[in-house]
Structure 1
């Protein structure tokens, strides 16, 4: 019998998008020699699903001042972007006529920024004897043992490491096979595939499922492709994302509000603060923006029942008010709405047959059909790993190494990111960060959230090692 040949690393990071890249950056900064393997099938690290976009119209939904990957320097992206523009990069930035800190850079350029920070960390790590190797394959199997973790890749490679981290990022519903009826993805086109959209009839009738930020990207893609026909958006609650503005500062009213425990109490206080702001002539987004730093604490304090109530009754309004559209994209949406080309129907999606949708409009009991020429799935992110039809999630769930997180949002873990298995045992060698911890902290996808998690997890891994 032939012995299995393993390659060895100190830490295997599964996923080389923003989450995995920022974790590698933090690990490389530590003055301890270690070998890091980053398992990522894409040709480039640092991009993942979110930052692989190539169209300039697909921008960040936060301005540069809000999107630093350095948890110790909030101005890091602003400083990098200033130099990038001064060196001739992104000449189109002049069209926004804003200070660099207030610019909304394209996501593709943000990917370059993350890659440069990784390159700098690699150079620093080399001085300590550390390396970070990009292993271009997909992880398909993982086993834990008392002294190590074994990871099998799609090309047959086997890796052994002291620790492994699931930094798998997001599973966009439009790009991820999910176990769901209706055949939606089989008939839909990719919201970000501008090249495919250029082959459409410019007057084609487009149906879009979902009205969040993925829908905004889809409308931008259609515009870039030259589409000028009617677009109908189907959304259960009929809400558009608000546009992100640059409001003035507002007192951190939650810093001393220790009595606020439930989501209902939080929402009542937020509404009160927003009304107070508007009464003083201040943008309502100002008090809302102070809430972010308290979200993880408030979410972790809430009971399971309160969390369920929040997801069922408050989540749609939270998403539309908090996850806002970048101004250039919103301007495009408003123009299409004013022209009558872009309309929104409050309805539940039921199934798809080709490009014909069966929906049930809000307030009605009888389903109806909508016929279009083109279908786009913009239903957002799939956080329930039981519905993600990919090898590693299937294997990890089947062998009980992971278990769904609160409300099936991501995975169950402790406060340090150590995963909890089906028997309730906390792993000593298997961790997660970023979107897989959505159920633990609610907001676990934004750049600043991921950057802060990367720093904390790097310190935890060093302690465990």
Structure 2
């Protein structure tokens, strides 16, 4: 086949779009093709939300897609609001940098930055094309990478980048399915929730940020009944606040390497902050920029210790809830409508007397029990283990040894530059990855700032 493009990007959500933006900004003529089944680029799973209540979990000052300008989103929002956009922002009496924009609006911001990059690229003779399809197979040789698409097309290019983004457990077919998704409501489907009896009991599996979204969806759908949430540890995300600056203690002391050392020192720093009347989130927020270094230099044993013993508390403290959503959860909890249970989900139960029944085991107990409700929502988060993702491309790549699972089976393995490692550990010459597929490499590889930095670095690597 003749070559269709210089660079093929598999996935047109935030990761793929940001890579295209960085490539278009670089001097030189190149043809970029993004393969994405959705009608729009720049949205993906995260930013396709249409409800105003589904907001970013970080304020504008933390969510710039430009790694060279941390105020980029704040500046865009300032102009957008001044032009009459997002009038609801006036209800939040805070500076624009502290606003938590709707995720759908963030998608508009990403799309505008892409359009601006296309204009820059046009001056160099570069183009980007959106092909609406799903990649179902990939082959690579010494000269090029060839993609097979769901509509039968085949595309060929000098390089390909896996930028497939996240696989939400609620929307991802699994190789070892428990049948939960077939019985559950989509956490973001407000229209479907409007069909429920407003006073009925809703069961939710998982208590992270997807659960927060699900509760927001139920509220906007007019649901006024009980909500029962089940998760192993029963931990809720803390509310995100805007703490003052704190000393970068990890930047000053690189001897802190193991999870045990980090936790001991972080707790000490938080106690010091509280003693000074400063929010404990201030020391915690300084850890953010060091996560990739700490994770990459940790041993597999240390990583397993972190995932097994620390991860639930890390997730609830670090991946915090937007203030308005947290206020809703607090209100429902104080009313007795929202109850959080530390319990493990053990499966669905057939029951002719209820719309849905699940079997759980409460924390600290040996026996299981059955809980009934009118509806079930799977809010168990993101599926990072590609071996469990029943999509054509992950399954084909794993089956033919073109990729291997990443550390702790999180995403896929790659070099520090993003070159994918095959089953034998050999780095690919023409196949790269970025964003959530590299979760096992960097731990935090999903946040906007992480993706933006990876996009810039990978773009520079691809055009050398």
Both structures adopt the same fold (TM-score exceeding 0.5): yes
Partner Cα separation in structure 1 for residue 342 and residue 225 of structure 2: 21
Partner Cα separation in structure 2 for residue 257 and residue 312 of structure 1: 26
Q: Which residue of the other structure, out of 172, 176, 196, is the alignment partner of 2:168?
A: 172
Aligned to 2:422: 421
Aligned to 2:228: 232
8 Å CA contact 2:246–2:286 kept in 1: the answer is: yes
Q: How much does 1:7 deviate?
A: 5.8
What are structure 2's unaligned runs of at least 5 residues? Answer: 351-355
Q: How does 1:244-263 map to 2 (within 5 A)?
A: 244-263=240-259
What are structure 1's unaligned runs of at least 5 residues? Answer: none
8 Å CA contact 2:349–2:370 kept in 1: the answer is: no
Q: How does 1:258-297 map to 2 (within 5 A)?
A: 258-297=254-293
* 1:39 has 2:35 as partner: yes
* 1:449 has 2:450 as partner: yes
Superposed CA deviations along residues 107-162 of structure 1, whole A, max 9, x for unmatched, are 00000000000000001000000000000000000000110000010001100000
Superposed CA deviations along residues 149-206 of structure 1, whole A, max 9, x for unmatched, are 0001000110000000000000000000112343111100100000111111101110
8 Å CA contact 1:182–1:353 kept in 2: the answer is: no
* 1:135 has 2:136 as partner: no
8 Å CA contact 1:142–1:149 kept in 2: the answer is: yes
Q: Which residue of the other structure, out of 47, 58, 79, is the alignment partner of 1:51?
A: 47
Superposed CA deviations along residues 306-357 of structure 1, whole A, max 9, x for unmatched, are 0000000000000000000000100100010010000011011110136211
Partner Cα separation in structure 2 for residue 118 and residue 213 of structure 1: 28
Aligned to 2:345: 349
Q: How does 1:21-170 map to 2 (within 5 A)?
A: 21-170=17-166
SS of the residue corresponding to residue 255 of structure 1 reads: helix
Superposed CA deviations along residues 347-403 of structure 1, whole A, max 9, x for unmatched, are 111101362111110000011111111000000000000000000001000100000
Partner Cα separation in structure 2 for residue 164 and residue 106 of structure 1: 31
Partner Cα separation in structure 2 for residue 129 and residue 138 of structure 1: 27
8 Å CA contact 1:64–1:105 kept in 2: the answer is: yes
Partner Cα separation in structure 2 for residue 356 and residue 402 of structure 1: 39
Partner Cα separation in structure 2 for residue 261 and residue 230 of structure 1: 44
Q: How much does 1:233 deviate?
A: 0.3
Q: How much does 1:423 deviate?
A: 1.1
Aligned to 1:314: 310
Partner Cα separation in structure 1 for residue 394 and residue 287 of structure 2: 32
Aligned to 1:299: 295
Partner Cα separation in structure 2 for residue 329 and residue 222 of structure 1: 12
Partner Cα separation in structure 2 for residue 392 and residue 119 of structure 1: 29
Q: How does 1:381-392 map to 2 (within 5 A)?
A: 381-392=382-393
Change (3 A) 1:58 1:275: same
Q: Which residue of the other structure, out of 234, 240, 243, is the alignment partner of 2:239?
A: 243
Q: How much does 1:6 deviate?
A: 5.5
Superposed CA deviations along residues 229-270 of structure 1, whole A, max 9, x for unmatched, are 000000101101000000011010111111111011011111
Aligned to 1:399: 400
8 Å CA contact 1:17–1:46 kept in 2: the answer is: yes
8 Å CA contact 1:238–1:347 kept in 2: the answer is: yes
Q: How much does 1:460 deviate?
A: 1.0
8 Å CA contact 1:6–1:157 kept in 2: the answer is: no
What stretches of structure 1 move > 3 A for 4+ residues in a row? none
Q: How much does 1:88 deviate?
A: 0.5
SS of the residue corresponding to residue 415 of structure 1 reads: coil
User: Over aligned residue pairs, what C-alpha RMSD do you find?
Assistant: 0.8
Partner Cα separation in structure 1 for residue 211 and residue 3 of structure 2: 42
Q: How much does 1:209 deviate?
A: 0.3
Partner Cα separation in structure 1 for residue 178 and residue 13 of structure 2: 30
Partner Cα separation in structure 2 for residue 279 and residue 332 of structure 1: 29
